[in-house]
Amino acid sequence: MAAPDTPSTLNELQTPCMTVDLDVVKANCTRMIERAQGLGVGLRPHMKTSKTLEGGRLLTGGSCSRIVVSTVAEAEFFASGGFDDITYGHIITQDKMPRLAVLAQKLKRFHVFIDCEEHIDLLEGEPLVPPGRMWSVIVKINTGYNRAGINWHDETLVPLVKKVRDSLWMDFEGIYIHEGMCYDKQGEAVKSTADEQIHRLMQVSELLSTHDIKCHTVSVGSTPSCSLPGKLMSKVTEIHPGNYVFYDVQQWQIGSCKRSDIALRVATRVMAHYPQRNELIVDCGFTALSHDGKGAMPNGTWCLIEGCPKLKFVRISQEYGVITTHEGSAMNYENLPIGKIIYLIPYHACATAAMHPVYYVHSGENIVEVWRPNRGW
Amino acid sequence: MAAPDTPSTLNELQTPCMTVDLDVVKANCTRMIERAQGLGVGLRPHMKTSKTLEGGRLLTGGSCSRIVVSTVAEAEFFASGGFDDITYGHIITQDKMPRLAVLAQKLKRFHVFIDCEEHIDLLEGEPLVPPGRMWSVIVKINTGYNRAGINWHDETLVPLVKKVRDSLWMDFEGIYIHEGMCYDKQGEAVKSTADEQIHRLMQVSELLSTHDIKCHTVSVGSTPSCSLPGKLMSKVTEIHPGNYVFYDVQQWQIGSCKRSDIALRVATRVMAHYPQRNELIVDCGFTALSHDGKGAMPNGTWCLIEGCPKLKFVRISQEYGVITTHEGSAMNYENLPIGKIIYLIPYHACATAAMHPVYYVHSGENIVEVWRPNRGW
């Protein structure tokens, strides 16, 4: 239920603000749960996009278990909210060790990432209590995306995993990749790209098994590859997409979703008309939309304007957006009176959601819930 | 004083986080206060960059009066914090009228912006109490920046101002511009560009005086133009820069400040080394730095890395930054061990500050205060 002072319909919203279509979110979550079941793989949804307990409940089909998070603050937030199997999906660092130890001691299951010996030293320097309680360690693998992770063909990989296995303070849980390069592909090419990454990860798993080391977890994920699964997706133990809770214009461009699967919008309002320059201003700046995607869309803008295919954002500052028409066609100001709410469909949902202290969650025109996301580190 | 559980020195910070050099902020604030005094103009600092009461006190030299804000939430935050003369520096909209009326009735002075007749209708539709209490109206002028504002040579400008003057519910306070085009200039060109804008605004003031309408406020401002004031800056009644509280790389490029005047940094930590690709990763993604400035700096990055002139950001995602060297020189990993804190100097302080729930304020290496900024609308 929304709080008593929350507007009851979208038309009553103060702008700018972020809206979430609850029915679309539910459908997105159900579709991924069913897809994972069909593939015979576990689903560990990433919380980094919605960062809300409500989103987490829908993403896990109500189980409130088996999630991955992007910050320690998120891990603490979901742990306090009753989630009991959490992967901290970020390389560990010295400063976070005491907080990570609290989580490892409190939660039923809590997994951390390492990719080099220095990270093992951090874990050995922070033994858990009671004695015998073990860190559950996932080795992050780089199969080509070149962000975090030890290279899949690195000769130090097996010695690294053996060091984890042989430690008094650690259990080796498995291996994990993010096939982020799928964001640069479309449609069928997403499938073949992800399959290549999965093939490399499976080779790591097979190599480790020749050393009698079992990967309980072989985890892959990105919203493009999990929305468009290739032939090898069923070979892993779990998938960990996240963005699909909301989807966005970027995902629509990739082919991960249909336009109607995008659940997140930014509501903004026409503030003034400037017919002399064929422009109008709205009360949405970068603090409500983010700068993400600038330059990435073919029309030179970085969001879509719902129901207004001829309009585009041309400039953005902290609290103002300037809108004009494509190719100089005349603005139809009568359809866009001062005060009218218009909806922006963001390029990147994760970046836009991070700008908002509150999400107004609606079913049709009715606001049915208010979600307050976690923030910080 | 910092809270008891706050780290006492920079080295103890958990990363990523935002740091503010208090001595630099104080010097930036004092310099602008003295510049305004020297010019014989009022100073109405913009709160949109720091959005903190502590920043506001320093920016106003302790008077806690005469400020401008970018959102209604900011106006309410500063009003609750004891600030008594606030300009809402954004075009008014229907949805905010009840909250604006509360502020207008509560504060000693509260000014709002309009730029067309529809905005006058909004004010007349929300009369203040007690009867006789007047809206203080500033007409936003567009002298060439082409964001909000009525064109300085628009023939409807005088009739618009007369309608304000003649209303039973409004006082005409004056005129206001933001000479944002100064951001595209450097050094002396900032001065001549701003002088051209001020010259146009003074023509509006003179035109109105021929109609017996006095502008009590003739307000101009941007951090570049107020840091590099031209000959005409002394002719206005007030200036309203804001970014200078922190300054940033963009302002340094423009020539508004020296490198040592930049007070804001993002502290991040080396997470892992990847010598095979001459890269390392840090725990600062777009949620801590923002995407602002991407592509705007000549080296293809969008922040500076303090003390590491040979390093640059090459990729950024939600919680990871990838760093390499300029022109392929070999990374000196020994100087950048895993766990080391490095400091990023942001391209745009307003965008970076908006990403942080807390600012760690330091004097030298000691953390002396924690500031919590306002957020939302």
Read off the pLDDT of residues A164-217 as tens digits, 9 standing for 90 and up.
999 999 999 999 999 999 999 999 999 999 999 999 999 999 999 999 999 999
pLDDT of residue B73: 98
Cβ neighbours of B322 in A, within 8 Å: 146-147
For residue A18, list chain B residues with Cβ-Cβ distance below 8 A: none
**Residue A226 confidence (pLDDT) above 70:** yes
* pLDDT attached to residue B3: 66
Looking at residue A56, what is its pLDDT?
Answer: 98
Q: Do B377 and A294 touch (CB under 8 A)?
A: no
Cβ of B319 and A15 within 8 Å?
no
Domain ranges, ordered by start, for chain B: 84-241, 259-371
Q: Mutate one of A147, A181, A246, A280 to test the B interface: name it (highest B CB count within 10 A).
A: A147
Q: Given an 8 Å threshold on Cβ–Cβ distance, is A351 in contact with B118?
A: no
Give the pLDDT of residue A1: 53
Q: Is A286's CB within 8 Å of B274's CB?
A: no
* Nearest by Cα to A125 from A174, A168, A75, A166: A168
pLDDT of res. B32: 98
Per residue in A329-362, pLDDT tens?
999 999 999 999 999 999 999 999 999 999 999 9
Residues of chain B found within 8 Å of residue A272, distances taken between Cβ atoms: 91, 115-116, 118-119, 148
Which chain B residue shows the shortest CA-CA distance from A48?
A: B318
Predicted TM-score of the model (pTM): 0.97
The CATH code of domain B259-371 reads 2.40.37.20
Neighboring chain B residues of A147 at a CB cutoff of 8 Å: 281, 315, 317, 320, 322
Task: Report pLDDT for A4.
Answer: 65
Region A249-275 average pLDDT: 98
Collect contacts of B158-162 with beta carbons under 8 A, ≥24 apart. Answer: B158/B207, B158/B208, B158/B211, B160/B114, B160/B116, B160/B117, B160/B120, B161/B208, B161/B211, B161/B213, B162/B211, B162/B213
pLDDT in tens, B95-142: 999 999 999 999 999 999 999 999 999 999 999 999 889 999 999 999
Among the partner residues A95, A292, A375, nearest to B14 by beta-carbon distance: A95
- Closest partner residue to B319 (CB to CB) among A70, A272, A288 is A70
Closest approach of A376 to chain B, Cα-based (Å): 7
Low-confidence ranges of chain B (pLDDT < 70): 1-4
Which residues of chain B neighbour A19 with C-beta distances below 8 Å? Answer: none
- DSSP E strands in A199-336: the ranges are 217-220, 238-239, 264-274, 279-282, 303-305, 311-316, 321-325
- The answer to whether the Cβ–Cβ distance between A118 and B317 falls below 8 Å is no
* Chain A residue with minimum CA distance to B13: A95
Architecture of the structural domain at A84-241: Alpha-Beta Barrel (3.20)
* b/e map A328-363, b = 16+ CB within 10 Å: eeebeeeebebeebbbbbbbbbbbbbbbbeebbbbe
Nearest to A272 among B48, B148, B356 (CB): B148
Q: What pLDDT is stored for residue A296 in this prediction? A: 80
Tell me: pLDDT of A13 over 80. yes
Q: A339–B70: do the CB atoms touch at under 8 Å? A: no
CA–CA min distance A146, chain B (Å): 8
Chain B hits for A116, CB-CB cut-off 8 Å, are 272-273, 338
Question: Which chain A residues contact residue B151 at CB under 8 A?
Answer: 276
Cβ separation B95–A375 shorter than 8 A: no
Q: Which residues contact B21 (CB under 8 A, 6 or more apart)?
A: B263, B264, B265, B361, B362, B363
What is the per-residue pLDDT across A79-128, written as a single tens digit (0 to 9) for each? 999 999 999 999 999 999 999 999 999 999 999 999 999 999 999 999 99
User: How far off is chain A from B280, nearest CA to CA, in Å?
Assistant: 9
Report percent pLDDT > 90 for chain A. Answer: 94
Measured between CA atoms, how close is B322 to chain A, in angstroms? 7
Nearest residue to B243 via CA among B258, B265, B221, B215? B221
pLDDT digits 0-9 by tens, A44-63: 999 999 999 999 999 999 99
**For residues A11-39, average pLDDT:** 98
| pLDDT-based confidence at residue A365 (cuts at 50, 70, 90) | very high
Among chain A residues, the shortest Cα distance to B352 is held by: A287
Partners of A291 on chain B (C-beta within 8 Å) are 290-292, 294, 351
Name chain B contacts of A70, Cβ cutoff 8 Å: 318-319
| ipTM value for the complex | 0.96
Q: Which amino acid is at B292?
A: D
| Rounded Cα distance, B288 and B320, in Å | 10
